[in-house]
Structure 1
C-alpha cells in the first residue's frame, strides 16, 4: 500500500488590491527623469512589468476635455445631454490619471520657468473647502516670458495652490533672479540682502500705479455717472500723461535685446522718470491728507526703488501684465465652480492650468496636445520626454485641428 503525503494549506495570501491613487503615485515616480524603473517596482514589491501595465492603463483613459473654466459636475451633465455616461468620479479619475502621467513633463516646465532670468509673479484667491466652511486659498502664478527683451527661450506658465497667502509660499517657490510683481508685502523678504539663497531683484508694475491715477482721470466713465459724477483731478490727468510717455518709449523698444532697451531707457526714459518724481513731490506738498490723488502719489513714492529698477536692467518690463493675463482663467472659473473641493483638487487645478496656459502661450491647442501625449507617453523612453514638451511638440493631425 502506497503512502501519500498530504500538505495542508492553512492560509492563502491574498493578492493585494492597488488603488488608483497608489498606481498614479508609483507610475509618476517611475516616470521621473533619471529614475530606474526596476528600483521603483522592487520598493513596491511588484514586478517591473506590472508598472508598465499600469502606465498603459492610465494612458488609455481618454484625455479629459479641456473645460472652459467649468466644474467637473457641469462637464458630466454636458456629456449626459449628449448621451455619454461619464460620472463625476470618472472625470475626476481622468484628471488624476493625467496628472500622474504628465508629472515628468510638468517637472520639466517647472524647471524651465524657475530658471528664468526674470519671472512675472502674481496670485489670486480660490476658495478651498474645509470642514463646515471654505478657506480663502491662493493660486500662485509664475510666467516666463523672455520675448520682450529679445530672448529666444519659449514662454511658459507655472501654477501652485495653497490654502493661505503666507509669505512662506513664494519663499519656497523662488530662489534667484528678477521678480516682476505687484507690491504684495509677502514678497518683501525675498528682496532682503541677508536672504539665505540671495536676494531677488524687485521690479514693480507701472500699470498698477497708472490705474490708480486713471480712476481719478477717466472722463468717459465719469460722464456716465450723470449727477453722481465727481470732479476730474487735473493732477491725476497730468500723472497719466507723464506715465503714458514712458509707455510710448516701451512700445518702441519691445522685443529689442536687453542691452538696446537699456540704452534707450538711459537716453529717453531716465529724464522723464526724474521729472515725474520731482513733479509728484512738489504736488504732494500742495495736497491735504484726505485728497483722493494723494493716495496714488504716496503709493508710487514709497515704492520708487522697485518702480525704477527697469532703468538699470533691460530685461525688466514696465508692467506685470503677463502674470495678470495668466490668472484670468481662474478669475472666470471662480464664477462657475465656486470652490475647490480639497487641497488635492486645488493642486490638480494648478497642475492642469500649467499645461493648458503653457500650451496657449506657445500657440498650441491644449486639447490636441493632451490627446496626442496621452496616447504616446506610455511608450516614450524617459530620455526622450522633452520631445513632448509644448514648445517641441508638433500636431500629428494639423488638418483635423484646422477643420475643428
Structure 2
C-alpha cells in the first residue's frame, strides 16, 4: 500500500514569514492541517499502517513525532492566541524525582509596595520546576515566584514566569540544547539518548524528546532564514552537495536525497554555512536557494549548476577537482603526463599558499605577475598533450576535464577575492558525511530539512569558535522574547553570550 505520507508537501513556513493575505494564510492553514492529519494517521493508525520494526521504525517514529510538534507550532503561529481556562480533567505532569538536586531561582516582583502605596504582604510561593542536564547529571531548577497581596486595595502582585520556547514545558533551554547537539552534532538518534538519560537516573520518553526537537526546530527557523540572507549578501559563494538516504514512509526502502551546502568565499569575512535538504539533485534546488543572487559561484562540474550560469551567476571552477583527475590517473598507471600535470598544478598552489594572507589588491597583483604566466604555460602544454593521446583514454579524459573548463578554472587569476578551489565547502560537507554513518538516513523530508537547519547553526557556531551547546542554550533562552527585527544579533558570527 502506498503510504499517504509519500504525497505530502513540506511547507517551510516560519512565523516571521506568514503570508500577508488572509486567503494565503487560510490556504496554508488547510494544508498544514491536512499534513498533520496524515501524520497522526500514520503514527497512531491501525496495526496494518504502523511503523516498520527495528532501527528504521525507531528513526521514522522519531521523525514523525518531531514533525507533528513542528507543524502544530506552525499552526499555532497562524492562529491568534487566546487565553483559555485549563480544561477539567487535564492530566498533570508527574512530579520530578525528589532525590534530584535542586537549584532555586527566585523571581521577586518589582518593588515592595502596591501602586496605591501600601506595603505588599506575602501570601505564598508558587513553584514551577524545570529539568536541566549536564552530561551524566540531572538537576532541577525550582522557579519560585512569591505571591504578594495589598491589604488595602486587595491587589495581587507576582513576578512573571520567564518565557520558554515550549510554554509550560519540562525542559530548560540547556536540556533542549543538549538534545539538539547530541542529535545533530554528535549524531545520536533519540532512542540512543533515551538510554543515556535512563542510565543518568531519569527515563524520558522518546516521544517527549521528539516533541522538544520539533518545537526547537520550528523556533530556530527564523535564525536559519536570516543566516541564509547574510550568506547571499556576499558576492562569492562556495556550493557542494552530498547524497543522504531518505526513508520512504510505509516501507523499509530508502531513496537518495541530497544535502546541499553553501558558504561565503574563503576570502570573505563571514564565517557561516547553510545546509539545504532536498528530495533530489535537480539544479532547480540550487536555483531556488540562490533566488535573485548574482555573484561568483565556486563549484564542481555538476550539470545542475549550469542553469544558474545562464541566469547571471558567474562560474568559478575548482582546481582541486582538476588535480584529482590527474592524481587518480597517476595512481592507477604511473602516467608521466599525469605526473607533469601535477607538477604544474602544484606550482599554482605554492603561489596561493604564499599570497593567501595578502590584501585583495596585493593578491591579484601577485597572481598576475607569477601565477598567470605559469597557468598560460600549463594551458599550452595541456593542448599539446591532448593532440598526442587517443580518444576515450584515461589520459584524454583527465586532459579534457581541464581544457573544457579552462575559463572557469582560471577565473580566480583575474579577481583577488576568488579562491583557486572549492575545498572550503568540502570541509563543511565532511561532518555530514561522517555523521550519516551513524544516523543512517533521514526519517522524512521535513525531518531532513529540520536537520539541515539545526546543523547550519551548529556548524556555523563551530566556525566562529563557539561551543554549539553554549550557543544553542543561550539562543533558546533568549529567542522567546527577542525582537524579530533584531534576529541578526543571535546569528553565530555576531552572537555574544548574555551577561548574567
TM-score (norm 1): 0.79
Cα drift, residue 389 of structure 1: 1.9
Q: 2:392, 2:72 → 1: CA distance?
A: 62
Q: Match of 1:140, SS?
A: strand
Q: Match of 1:176, SS?
A: coil
Q: 1:383, 1:344 → 2: CA distance?
A: 26
Deviations 1:60-92 (A, max 9, x none): 463242121233322323333333323332222
Q: 1:243, 1:271 → 2: CA distance?
A: 13
Higher helix share: 1
Counterpart of 1:104 (choices 216, 222, 233) is: 222
Paired residue for 1:358?
Answer: 460
- Judged with a 3 Å threshold, the aligned counterparts in structure 2 of structure 1 residues 46 and 231 are, in CA distance, closer, same or farther, namely closer
Cα drift, residue 360 of structure 1: 0.9
Structure 2 residue 393 is matched with structure 1 residue 291: yes
Cα drift, residue 382 of structure 1: 2.8
Q: 1:49, 1:166 → 2: CA distance?
A: 47
Cα drift, residue 56 of structure 1: 5.3
Provide the aligned length of Structure 1 versus Structure 2. 345
Q: Is the 8 A contact 1:64 1:95 kept in 2?
A: no
Structure 2 residue 315 is matched with structure 1 residue 202: yes
Question: RMSD across aligned C-alpha pairs, in angstroms?
Answer: 2.5
Cα drift, residue 395 of structure 1: 3.8
Structure 2 residue 263 is matched with structure 1 residue 143: yes
Q: 2:386, 2:474 → 1: CA distance?
A: 59
Paired residue for 1:78?
Answer: 196
Cα drift, residue 376 of structure 1: 2.2
Cα drift, residue 26 of structure 1: 5.3
Structure 2 residue 445 is matched with structure 1 residue 343: yes
- Judged with a 3 Å threshold, the aligned counterparts in structure 2 of structure 1 residues 91 and 282 are, in CA distance, closer, same or farther, namely same
Q: Is the 8 A contact 1:25 1:100 kept in 2?
A: yes
Unmatched 5+ stretches in structure 2: 1-67, 86-161
Counterpart of 2:469 (choices 367, 372, 393) is: 367
Which range moved further: 304-313 or 288-297? 288-297
Counterpart of 1:235 (choices 318, 334, 337) is: 337
Which range moved further: 252-261 or 280-289? 252-261
Greater RCO, CA 8 A, separation 6+: 1
Cα drift, residue 307 of structure 1: 0.7
TM-score (norm 2): 0.64
Superposed structure 1 runs of 4+ greater than 6 Å apart: none
Aligned ranges 1:151-300 → 2 under 5 Å: 151=268, 153-174=269-290, 175-192=293-310, 195=311, 199-218=312-331, 231-300=333-402
Paired residue for 2:128?
Answer: none
Q: 2:192, 2:265 → 1: CA distance?
A: 33
Q: Match of 1:63, SS?
A: helix
- Judged with a 3 Å threshold, the aligned counterparts in structure 2 of structure 1 residues 290 and 168 are, in CA distance, closer, same or farther, namely closer
Cα drift, residue 386 of structure 1: 2.7
Q: Is the 8 A contact 1:70 1:333 kept in 2?
A: no
Cα drift, residue 47 of structure 1: 3.1
Q: Is the 8 A contact 1:265 1:311 kept in 2?
A: yes
Q: 2:322, 2:299 → 1: CA distance?
A: 12
Q: 2:355, 2:321 → 1: CA distance?
A: 21
